[in-house]
Amino acid sequence: MTEQDYWDKAAEDPEVATKYISDVDLDECLSAFAEKLLAGSILEIGCGIGRLTTAMAERAVACQLHGIDISSKMLDLTPKSTVKYKLCDGKTIPYPNESFESIYSMLTFQHVDNETMHSYIDEAYRTLKDNGVFRFQFVEGDHDNLVDHGHSVDDVRHWLQDAGFSIVTIDRGLVHPQWIWITGAKI
């Protein structure tokens, strides 16, 4: 089974919105990243059924929200709104260079391997405008299963710096005790 197969199957579960999505309060989730983002064009990597992008669209002023996901079946469940959703290959961002002021990701990088996470970091840098912000969450560790992956903070820091990001913040335990949040700025 591939990661895409896993998420396509999850989308078929009538309880997808509660079983496969964070049980953390939506406002608490938004508070972990929304204030760090710049207004304008914003992308969510791994948007799933659109829980966060929809909430962001309802609260954001003067923003255009986009979401990408590996599962077409998850994207089929996104609510009809002003958010623009696209299917992606799970390693690249299907937008041109310098498309976004901000990119965020929550609950995605803990489900992808190191190679995929590294690729998304490079892609985030490519698709951010100058001075753009990339805010994302992952789980620290060395576990490596189909959809449960830990990452080294040192590796992630290194990948960000190699891509050209300046690391603005590293927050441990924000929202959930196991979560690491990093904000990088495109310099």
pLDDT value for 112? 93
What's the whole-model pTM score? 0.94
Q: In whole angstroms, give the CA distance from residue 113 to residue 160.
A: 16
Query: What CATH number does residue 87 fall under?
Result: 3.40.50.150
Q: In whole angstroms, give the CA distance from residue 141 to residue 152.
A: 6
Q: How many domains does the chain have?
A: 1
pLDDT value for 74? 95
Residue 67 CA to its chain's centroid (Å): 9
Tell me the one-letter amino acid at 1. M
Could you report the average pLDDT of every consecutive run of 10 residues in the chain (187 residues)?
Answer: 88 84 80 91 96 88 91 94 94 97 95 95 98 97 86 97 98 92 96
Q: ∠178-182-187 over CA atoms, to 5°?
A: 170
C-beta of residue 150 within 8 angstroms of C-beta of residue 144 = yes
pLDDT value for 148? 86
Residue 71 structural domain: 3-186
Spell out the residues 6+ positions from residue 159 whose beta carbon is closer than 8 angstroms to its own: 117, 118, 121, 122
Tell me the one-letter amino acid at 92. T
